[in-house]
Amino acid sequence: MQSVERNERFELAYRFVTETQESIFLTGKAGTGKTTFLKYLKAHSAKNTIVAAPTGVAAINAGGVTLHSLFHLPFHPFLPTAAGKQELLAKIRYNKQRLQLLRKMEVLVIDEVSMVRCDVMDAIDTILRSVRWQHEVPFGGVQLLFIGDLFQLPPVAQNQEWQVLQEYYNSTFFFDSKVIQEQMPLLIELTTIYRQKEELFVKLLNKVRNNQLEAEDLEILNERYSPGFQPDRDETYITLTSHNNQAELINRQQLQRLTAPPYTYTAKIDGDFPENSYPADAELVLREGAQVMFLKNDTQGRRFFNGKIGVVHSLTEEEIVVRCGKENIRVEKETWDHSRYTLNRADGKLEQDVLGTFEQYPLRLAWAITIHKSQGLTFEKVMIDAGLSFTSGQVYVALSRCTSLEGIVLLSKIQPSVIFSNQQVVDGQKALLPKGSLPQRFEEARKVFVQQLLEELFSFAQTNLAGKQLQQSITKHKFDLQEDAESWISNWQQQLLNLNRLGQKFLLQLNELSKQHPLVEENTALQKRVQDASNYFIPRLEELQQQLKQHPLITEHKTVADEVNEYLNALFVALHTEIYNLQSGREPFGITAHLQHKLNLTLPRANLTSYAANKKQTAAGLVHPELYFLLKEWRDRVCDESNQPIYMVANSNSLQDICTYLPFTKEHLLLLSGFGKAKVEKYGDEILELVTDYCTEHNLSTNIAAKQASPKKERQEKSTAPKVDTKTITLTYFNEGKSITEIAALRNITPGTVEGHLVDLVKTGSVKVEQLLTAEKLQTILNHIELYPEQSNTEHKLALGDAYSFADVRAVQNHLAYLKESEV
pLDDT in tens, 458-491: 999 999 999 999 999 998 888 888 778 888 899 9
Position 620 pLDDT exceeds 60? no
What CA–CA distance (Å, rounded) separates 529 from 198? 56
* Residue 203, φ and ψ in degrees, nearest 5: -65, -40
What local confidence, expressed as pLDDT, does residue 362 receive? 92
Domain limit, last residue, from 707, 736, 751: 707
Same domain assignment for residues 365 and 490: no
Q: Fill in the DSSP letter of residue 748.
A: T
Assess whether 678 and 529 both reside in one domain.
no
- Is residue 612 in some structural domain? no
Q: How would residue 2 be classed by pLDDT, with cut points 50, 70 and 90?
A: very low
How far is Cα 735 from Cα 769, in angstroms, rounded to an integer? 14
Statement: residue 536 has pLDDT above 90: yes
Q: Work out the average pLDDT over 291-309.
A: 79
269 and 409 fall within a common domain: yes
How far apart are alpha carbons 368 and 244 in whole angstroms? 9
Residue 431 lies in a domain: no
Q: Say if residue 776 is exposed, middle or buried (CB neighbours under 10 Å; 0-12, 13-18, 19+).
A: exposed
Domain containing 477 equals 438-600
Task: Quote the CA–CA distance of 660 and 654 in Å, as a whole number.
Answer: 10
Q: Does residue 610 fall inside a structural domain?
A: no
Residue-by-residue DSSP string for 536-575: HHHHHHHHHHHHHHT----BS-HHHHHHHHHHHHHHHHHH
Which residues, other chains included, contact 765 with Cβ-Cβ below 8 Å and sequence gap of 6+? Answer: 818, 822
Tens digits of residue pLDDT in 416-439: 777 766 677 778 878 888 778 889
Question: Do residue 528 and residue 484 come from a single domain?
Answer: yes
Residue-wise pLDDT for 370-401, tens only, equals 887 787 778 889 998 766 555 657 788 888 88
In a domain, 606, yes or no: no
Q: What whole-number distance in Å separates Cα of residue 410 and Cα of residue 257? A: 23
Which secondary structure element, helix H or strand E, spans residue 123, and what is its range?
Answer: helix 118-131
pLDDT of residue 1: 42
- For 431, residues 6+ apart whose C-beta sits below 8 A from its C-beta are 175, 184
Domain boundary among 421, 452, 478: 421
Averaged over 321-337, what is the pLDDT? Answer: 89
Confidence check: pLDDT of 715 > 50: no
What number of other Cβ atoms are within 10 A of residue 361's Cβ? 22
Residue 787's alpha-carbon distances to 126, 427, 522, 639, 803, in angstroms, are 10, 33, 46, 43, 19
Contacts of 773 (CB under 8 A, 6+ apart): 781, 808, 811, 812
Say whether pLDDT at 343 is over 90: no
Q: Are residues 332 and 214 in the same domain?
A: yes
Assess whether pLDDT exceeds 60 at residue 652. yes
Instruction: Give 747's pLDDT tier (boundaries 50, 70, 90).
Output: confident
Q: What is the pLDDT of residues 178-199, one digit of tens each?
A: 999 999 999 999 887 776 667 7
Distances (CA, A) of 275 to 53, 65, 269, 358, 742: 17, 14, 10, 10, 68
- Stretch (H or E) spanning 334: strand 334-343
- Sign (positive/negative) of CA torsion 283, 286, 292, 298? positive
Query: What pLDDT score was predicted for residue 137?
Result: 93
Is 631 a member of any domain?
A: no
Q: What is the pLDDT of residue 709?
A: 60
Q: What DSSP letter does each residue of 263-278 carry, written as one string?
A: EEEEPEEEE---GGG-
Q: What is the pLDDT of residue 198?
A: 73
Q: In what order do the strands lie in the sheet with 334-343?
A: 268-271, 350-360, 334-343
Whether the predicted pLDDT of 583 surpasses 80 = yes
More confident residue, 716 or 307: 307
Q: What is the mean pLDDT of the chain?
A: 85
pLDDT of residue 129: 94
User: What is the CATH classification number for the domain harbouring 770?
Assistant: 1.10.10
Residue 288, number of CB atoms within 10 A of its CB: 16
* Per-range mean pLDDT, top range of 154-168, 345-359, 483-497: 483-497
Candidates 188, 177, 178, 196; CA nearest to 148 is 188
Give whole-number Cα distances, 658 to 631, 637, 652, 687, in Å.
9, 18, 10, 9
Q: What is the pLDDT of residue 346?
A: 62
User: What is the C-alpha to C-alpha distance for residues 83 and 419, in angstroms, rounded to an integer?
Assistant: 41
Helices 485-514 + 461-476 axis angle, to 10: 160
623 within a domain of the structure (yes/no): no
State the pLDDT at residue 619: 44
What is the DSSP code (8-state) at residue 234? T
Rounded Cα distance between 13 and 657, Å, is 71
pLDDT of res. 388: 59
Between the alpha carbon of residue 532 and those of residues 503, 537, 702, the distances in Å are: 12, 9, 61
pLDDT at position 350 is 64
Residue range 60-91, pLDDT digits in tens: 777 888 898 899 998 888 999 988 898 888 88
User: Are both 145 and 262 inside the same structural domain?
Assistant: no
On the 0-12 / 13-18 / 19+ scale of CB atoms within 10 A, 602 is exposed
CATH code of residue 90: 3.40.50.300
Where does a domain end: 663, 680, 707? 707
Beta bridge mates, 321: 314, 330
Q: What is the pLDDT of residue 555?
A: 83
Domains contained in the chain, number: 5
Q: Are residues 182 and 215 in the same domain?
A: no
Q: Domain for residue 54, yes or no?
A: yes
Are 175 and 219 contained in the same domain?
A: no
Q: Where are the alpha helices (DSSP H) in 196-259?
A: 199-209, 215-222, 244-257
Q: Give the residue-averaged pLDDT of 345-352.
A: 64
Under DSSP, the state recorded for 479 is: G
Co-location of 648 and 730 in the same domain: no
Q: Is 37 found in the same domain as 75?
A: yes
Residue 483 CA, chain-centre distance (Å), reads: 38
| Residue 433: predicted pLDDT | 81
Query: CB-side exposure of 428: number of CA atoms within 13 Å?
Result: 25
> What's the rounded mean pLDDT across residues 757-771?
90
d(CA 700, CA 692): 9
Q: Is there a single domain that holds both residue 669 and residue 746?
A: no
Strand order in the sheet with 65-66: 65-66, 49-53, 107-110, 143-147, 24-28, 186-190
Instruction: Give the CATH number, domain containing residue 680.
Output: 1.10.150
Q: Dihedral of CA 711/713/715/716: which sign?
A: positive
Please report whether residue 517 resides in a domain: yes
- Closest C-alpha among 226, 379, 371 to residue 292: 379
Residue 376 shares a structural domain with residue 483? no
